[in-house]
Structure 1
Amino acid sequence: MEDEVEFRSTRLDSTRNTPLTALARAGAEAFGYTARLRIPRELAQLLRLRVAQLNGCPYCLTVHHAAARAARVPRAKVECLVSWWETELFTAPERAALTYAERLTSSHGSTAEQPFQAVHEAVAAHYAPEEVLEIAAVVINMNIWTRLKLAEGAMPTMAVEPAVPPLDDRVPTEVSEGGRADT
């Protein structure tokens, strides 16, 4: 049986801020893991999972590992995503999109020697402008969600299985006509 996880918020209740939750929900509907996108579902899920890794969001990691399985992302890609650049598992377009996601998530990596424009041009070499915009939207949406869940303190805990009631010491010896066990 697969481990079941429950979440509890340990810091903030974001539902008390209607504009914030509306923003997050609108992004999820348009660019979340259930949205219909132009870019391949596998790529979108890899981007979401990578942003969750970069931002250290346990809620998003849990949700998007499950979503990656549902999207049939190859297990090797999911397992090696944390060091994707050290593998030959990812296509050139995926590598460009992952680089784009990392730089958009951690923009402090942009320098005079490595401007964001070069990263944009690399991803644009593989994807149509509408797809690049969608890649950006998926990444931006995930950054909103990872930061929201971190602020909430969305803490995964192991789901507690209901306790099994103690067995009755009495052992039925006979079943009466009414279907009751007599002891």
Structure 2
Amino acid sequence: MSTQRIRYDEVAPHVLKAMLGLEKALAETQLEPSLRELVKIRASQLNGCAYCVDMHSSDALKAGEQTRRLLSLTTWHETPFFSARERAALLWTETLTLVSERHAPDEIYQQVAEHFNERELAELTFAIATINAWNRIGIGLAMQPE
């Protein structure tokens, strides 16, 4: 295991401030907090960001998420534990996180759009983009769970 490569909060506080501003805006979306955490965890799993998986799993548990659902998140396609709306969000999360492989086909967009209004879909897309940015910071700077 590596140690964190640089202290980005110390050397680039102005950029961190912008990212935290985005997080504050995302906290005020119409999306359910539990859904936002599932999206953060699933994207982090796909990206292999141990720091973010750990942080957001802990946050989800503290907020009342069921352990069973968190343990099943990697196999959400095969389990009955997630609502149709959550499944749509997870599908969009996987699609955008793996955009270089899948792009974002109209068929998937239409499936997802059945469960979200336009504002929610925009907010979901921003939430997915943001966690992917955090994952790249965490992985690139070798951040590890404590």
Q: Give the TM-score of the pair, scaled to structure 2.
A: 0.89
> What residue number does 2:128 align with?
139
Pairwise CA RMSD of aligned residues?
1.8
Determine which structure has the larger strand proportion and give its number. Answer: 1
- For each residue in 1:3-24, what CA deviation from the matched residue of structure 2 results, as whole angstroms up to 9, or x when unmatched? xxxxx95212223124432332
> What residue number does 1:173 align with?
none
Gaps of 5+ in 2: none
Distance (whole Å) between structure 2 residues aligned to residue 155 and residue 41 of structure 1:
24
Distance (whole Å) between structure 2 residues aligned to residue 43 and residue 52 of structure 1:
14
> What residue number does 2:52 align with?
60
Gaps of 5+ in 1: 1-7, 158-183
> What residue number does 1:117 align with?
106
> What residue number does 1:153 align with?
142
- Give 3-state SS (helix, strand or coil) of 2:145's partner: strand
Indicate conservation of the 8 Å contact 1:52/1:146, yes or no: yes
Indicate conservation of the 8 Å contact 1:9/1:154, yes or no: yes
Distance (whole Å) between structure 1 residues aligned to residue 74 and residue 46 of structure 2:
9
Determine which structure has the larger helix proportion and give its number. Answer: 2
Q: Match of 2:5, as an amino acid?
A: R
Q: Match of 1:12, as an amino acid?
A: I
Q: Give the TM-score of the pair, scaled to structure 1.
A: 0.72
Bigger radius of gyration: 1
Distance (whole Å) between structure 2 residues aligned to residue 18 and residue 119 of structure 1:
37
> What residue number does 1:46 align with?
38
Provide the identity percentage: 27
> What residue number does 1:86 align with?
78
State the Cα distance separating 1:124 from its structure 2 match. Answer: 0.7
Distance (whole Å) between structure 2 residues aligned to residue 19 and residue 122 of structure 1:
38
- For each residue in 1:136-155, what CA deviation from the matched residue of structure 2 results, as whole angstroms up to 9, or x when unmatched? 11111101111111112112
Distance (whole Å) between structure 1 residues aligned to residue 130 and residue 137 of structure 2:
11
Q: Match of 1:76, as an amino acid?
A: R
Distance (whole Å) between structure 2 residues aligned to residue 142 and residue 69 of structure 1:
18
